Amino acid sequence: MLMVSAPIVGIPEKAALFEVIDSGWLTMGDRVQEFEEAFANLHGAEDSVAVSSCTAALHLILHALGIGPGDEVLVPALTFVATANAVLYVNATPVFVDIESMDVPLMSIAEAEALCTPRTKAVILVHFAGYLPDREAWQAFAARRGLLLIEDAAHAPGLKEVGTYGVAAAFSFYGNKNMTTAEGGAVIARDRALRDRIRLARGHGMSSGTHQRLNSRTPTYDVTMLGFNYRLDELRAAIGIVQLRGLPGWNEIRQILVMQYRRLIAQQCPAVAIPFSAPRLSAYHIMPILLPDAAQRQDVIDRLRSQGIQTTIHYPPVHKMTLYRERCPGVHLPKTEAFAQRELTIPLHPDITTKTVEGVVAALADAVGVSQMGMAK
């Protein structure tokens, strides 16, 4: 099966894991710090905070900013559910915002403006598929409204512009991301005080970690704030250090593959639309397409699968899920819903070759053609 995404791991990652095991120190040690520094350097930041997941990163950012009961946070519904869940973790209210258009499936500033209330405190921008929104426009909006800008950058590691929009950015290193530590995440926050609060909160608010106490020979510690168990271990950090070396090159391969997909799809199945038609900075995390209205998506999925090609959907709208239908009844986001009904994600990762792309597009053209004929009958 040709997978939608695939981790690029091999001998260097295995060697790094063996080194950690041989060291006898498995969690929150020198490798975590090395990874944090390397990740920050790649993004032109002073430092970063490694955590257990992007979900943890988002939660820690909101917690450290003091977002809480009575506050509202603007979020897109075209995202993984963790974006909204993190808002609930701090007992605030997620307010779902529609996308700009079918071609630009990023949160709409105009819709966000219309949904602002005196209780609105923050906005979480999601870099969907790795594509970045208009930074200056969002910064102007946030300044005008007095809002905190937070980036959900799960799809966009490796771009120096990420982490420069507002107060902080959250990253994911899950197994299907541009780089992986299997599970894991990170926070980039330019303000040192905010970064220190996040770092403290990731480990139960403890004033020192086990590794620090070993080196200082002082066994005592204090707990100065409410914290969580959101630490990254040495094994994942070691993988991350290796993965960071490959990330820039992998992102370049992704860009080349996306350009080829765009060219071949335009030639062979022009009824299929590809979002982000205008040039836009991206880490090219996934390859979303929009099937024609006449096509039955499940038929296309089944036909591609029968030819050994996996597909998936990014994303079922969060506001349509049972939990959020019950908590936020009556929400209607017509552009998000229309996009989600037609979206299909096809394979994109650095192990794919140009010949593979040709095969995927040929299979897609056949599947869409057969589905449309079936509808016509």
Q: Would residue 320 show up in a list of annotated catalytic residues for this protein?
A: no
CA dihedral 223, 229, 234, 240 (to 10 degrees): -120
Alpha helices in the chain (DSSP H): 11-23, 30-42, 54-64, 82-89, 109-115, 135-145, 192-201, 210-216, 234-268, 297-306, 322-327, 334-342, 354-376
3-state secondary structure of 130: helix
Contact 171, 188 (CB under 8 A): yes
Which one-letter amino acid corresponds to residue 157? P
Considering 14, 121, 160, 177, which one is annotated as catalytic? 177
Fill in the DSSP letter of residue 100.
S
Place of tokens 């994109």: 348
Which one-letter amino acid corresponds to residue 349? H
CA angle 365, 367, 371 (to 5 degrees): 115
Distance CA 360, CA 373 (A): 20
CB neighbourhood size of 358 (10 A): 14
Catalytic residues: 177
